[in-house]
Amino acid sequence: MEEDSTFLGLDNNRLCRWDLRTAGGKVTENPVVQYQEGKDYSRGTNFNCMATSGDGYVVVGAQDGTIRLYSSKTLTRAKTSIPGMGAPVTSVDVTYDGKWVLATTDQYLMVVKTTYTDDKGRAANGFANPMGTRGSMPRLLRLKPEDRMRTGNKPFIKGKFSWITESGLSERWIVVSVGSHSVIWNFNKVKSASSEVLSFGGLPTNMDYIITNKDEDVVDAAFQHRKYAPDADASIVVATQHSLFNLGN
């Protein structure tokens, strides 16, 4: 929900924004609310997931691996479409400032920088302007072969940035769940990834992480907001089927 009482909705071929008020600002009593803005695609988009930045930018992940970036002003057409590598995107996240996107697939995370320099040498963002081929090379986050075996080759679930809701602060960590494990990457190291370690298609790949284990599969893992964990650099709440844990670094 946003301050103007609107919210976003998503299905396989539709992305839209609803407004629960009438034009006069009153809550509607009509049980059927038509969406205010958006688009019904005839076929082929196969949307799976979405996330929003602090400024209202919208990132959408699709079954074919495509990542679409929408501005805060319109949902009818993506400003930038980033092709994937064939693996379905099951979850997405975006930094508060809208400068980085995180896409989760079963076997890897993909980190995409959305800022670039346009043809006139000006700073630009793929959420607001078409990025084309001027964007930076995506980074991949993968497990080492021995840890892939350790986790039973189970899929990655819900990769997330650390929780920031204030301008001027930067996300510092990334976490993803895989089987009974939580895996944590240092985001600053990911951003500075070089081409020394390469993976699919020659993409920079980071396999420098912290991995922790629980007695049962992790349902979800999320960072605690800095406001509620002022003494922890990266405090994570981990949920399994029957328990809750707090991991503090």
Residue 25 is predicted with a pLDDT of 47
Q: Where are the alpha helices (DSSP H) in the chain?
A: 145-150, 187-191
Residue pair 240/219 in contact (Cβ under 8 Å)? The answer is yes
Q: 49-98, pLDDT tens digit by residue?
A: 999 999 899 999 999 999 999 998 888 889 999 998 889 999 999 999 99
* Whole-angstrom distance, CA of residue 5 vs CA of residue 236: 30
Backbone phi and psi for residue 191, each to the nearest 5 degrees, phi listed first: -65, -30
Full strand arrangement of the beta sheet holding 218-223:
218-223, 235-240, 244-248
Residue pair 65/89 in contact (Cβ under 8 Å)? The answer is yes
Q: 22-57, pLDDT tens digit by residue?
A: 555 455 555 555 555 666 776 778 899 999 999 899
Tell how far CA 70 is from the center of its chain.
13
> What contacts 161, CB < 8 A, 6 or more positions away?
93, 94, 95, 100, 102, 171, 173, 174, 187, 223
Return the closest-CA partner of residue 100 out of 64, 54, 143, 65: 54
Return the closest-CA partner of residue 62 out of 76, 73, 82, 48: 48
* Whole-angstrom distance, CA of residue 24 vs CA of residue 26: 6
More confident residue, 196 or 59: 59
* Whole-angstrom distance, CA of residue 210 vs CA of residue 147: 11
Give the pLDDT mean for 161-169. 80
Residue 243 is predicted with a pLDDT of 79
Q: 204-218, pLDDT tens digit by residue?
A: 889 999 999 888 888
Residue 73 is predicted with a pLDDT of 81
What are 174's strand-pairing partners? 161, 185
More confident residue, 82 or 6: 82
Residue 209 is predicted with a pLDDT of 94
Q: Half-sphere exposure (CA, 13 Å, Cβ side) for 127?
A: 25
Rounded mean pLDDT of the chain?
Answer: 83
* Whole-angstrom distance, CA of residue 181 vs CA of residue 148: 11
Residue pair 140/205 in contact (Cβ under 8 Å)? The answer is yes
**Is the pLDDT score of 2 beyond 50?**
no
> CB-based burial of residue 201 (10 Å sphere; 0-12 exposed, 13-18 middle, 19+ buried)?
exposed
Dihedral angle at the C-alpha atoms of 94, 96, 246, 50, nearest 10 degrees? -30
